[in-house]
Amino acid sequence: MSSTRIHKVAVIPGDGIGIEVTAAAIEALKTVQAKVGGFELVFTEYNYGSRLYKETGSYTPKDWLDTLSRHDAIFFGAVGDPDVPDHISLWQLILPMRYMLDFFQYVNVRPSIVFEGIDPPTRCATPAGGELDWVMLRENTEGEYAGQGGRSHVGHPHEVATEVAIFSRIGIERFLRFAFETAQNRPRKLLTVVTKSNAQRYGLVLWDEVAAEVAKDFPDVDAMTVRMVSKPQTLDVIAATNLHADILSDLAAALSGSIGIAPSSNLDPTRKAPSLFEPVHGAAFDIMGKDLANPVAAIWSASEMLRWLGEDRAADLVYEAMKSSLRAGKKTRDLGGTLSTTEATKAICDLIQE
Ligand code: GGG
């Protein structure tokens, strides 16, 4: 009887450069699978995305979430099309996946690290003397992204639109518990909970109250609350609402050199639903098909997927190859280098094989 560990991975390249960087990530995954052995990734590709929408009027076929739920993980590229408003493409593809049947993927993990070989726009050294090394945790199912609101008096000068931010005690607590546990497992044991409750009356006030309650269960974690992110060098793990973390993680990615290297894991910590791994960046239609996209964010996301699937050795190999490649100056144009997507991917895959 074979003892090979099988992991079923749904692959959704999506739109724009999502197609190119997903191919790069799959190449790295196949390379590390051949090198390490003992496990097999069974990839099934799905054509969900803007092209399908233009052909059929829908980003996805019927029962697609049931189809996806039969996998162990989902690897996603990007969504977005110049001809389709973002609120349609995001609400037809990426957001339903994060809410996956029963609001399971409630944490979005977005690390930002200034790697050796990268010259970031701003230097913000940590107290330990190193460069910026953050883990941004984004609450992934509530806040302004809950889809509550409406429009009235459409087309009238007094037209009104509301976008209601939803915060539930269960939603906040399960997310912040994950945040405290993440901080507890890092050397500095420092958690920063982002809030803006001073100007609000309900939602973020509940957020602050729950944060204070959960903090009591983690006395070894130094939790501080910031109303404005003013001292980046004092931060380590950062927990923020869906909207705040979406914005702040783009900033963090830029501070670490480029959004082209920022990975993202949409995790279901209960493991009832497959978790979803994707680069933070979008479809970037301006550079699509030109072999210019940075494959690092997708390859780092692939490494995070391997770790989630329990393949730590393979995850480490991919991550270290990616770091060594950057250190050796093998960079795409967004990082000041000259390599194409193909060349940067090959450089990482060669290092995995070594
Ligand atoms: N690979 C992620 C992607 O396509 N992102 C597009 C986007 O705008 N996402 C918004 C979000 O992450 O909430």
Question: Is residue 58 in some structural domain?
Answer: yes
Which residue has its alpha carbon closest to ligand 1 atom 9? 282
DSSP class per residue in 199-261: G-SSHHHHHHHHHHHHHTT-TTSEEEEESS---GGG-SEEEE-HHHHHHHHHHHHHHTT-GGG
Return the H-helix or E-strand segment holding 155. none
| Domain of 349, in residue numbers | 1-105+263-354
Residue 282 C-alpha to ligand 1 middle, in angstroms? 5
Q: What is the CATH number of the domain that holds 333?
A: 3.40.718.10
For residue 1, pLDDT beyond 60: no
Q: Which of 93, 94, 139, 276 for a ligand 1 pocket mutation test, highest count of atoms within 8 Å of Cβ?
A: 94
Q: How far is CA 176 from CA 162, 211, 212, 232, 284, in A?
A: 27, 7, 10, 20, 32
For residue range 130-140, list pLDDT tens digits in order. 578 889 999 99
For residue range 135-175, list pLDDT tens digits in order. 999 999 999 888 889 999 999 999 999 999 999 999 999 99
pLDDT at 200 (0 to 100): 83
Question: Is residue 237 in some structural domain?
Answer: no
Rounded-to-integer distance, Cα 175 and Cα 105, Å: 10
Question: Ligand 1 — pocket residues by CB below 6 A?
Answer: 78-80, 90, 94, 246, 278-279, 281-282
Question: Is residue 60 in some structural domain?
Answer: yes
275 vs 198, residue with greater confidence = 275
Q: What Rg do the C-alpha atoms of the chain give, in angstroms?
A: 20
Domain count, the chain: 1
Question: Is residue 217 in some structural domain?
Answer: no
Contact 132, 140 (CB under 8 A): no
Quote ipTM for the complex: 0.89
Question: Is residue 245 in some structural domain?
Answer: no
For residue range 325-349, list pLDDT tens digits in order. 999 999 999 999 999 999 999 999 9
Task: Give the nearest ligand 1 atom to 79 CA.
Answer: 4
Residue 64 C-alpha to ligand 1 middle, in angstroms? 19
Which letter does DSSP use for residue 134 in this model? E
Question: Is residue 204 in some structural domain?
Answer: no
For residue 228, pLDDT beyond 50: no
Residue 304 C-alpha to ligand 1 middle, in angstroms? 18
For residue range 179-188, list pLDDT tens digits in order. 999 999 999 8
Residue 213 C-alpha to ligand 1 middle, in angstroms? 32
Q: Which amino acid is at 58?
A: S
Question: Is residue 45 in some structural domain?
Answer: yes
Q: Which of 59, 79, 88, 137 for a ligand 1 pocket mutation test, highest count of atoms within 8 Å of Cβ?
A: 79
Question: Is residue 302 in some structural domain?
Answer: yes
Q: What band does 104 get if pLDDT is binned at 50, 70 and 90?
A: confident
For residue range 34-71, list pLDDT tens digits in order. 999 999 999 999 999 999 999 999 999 999 999 999 99
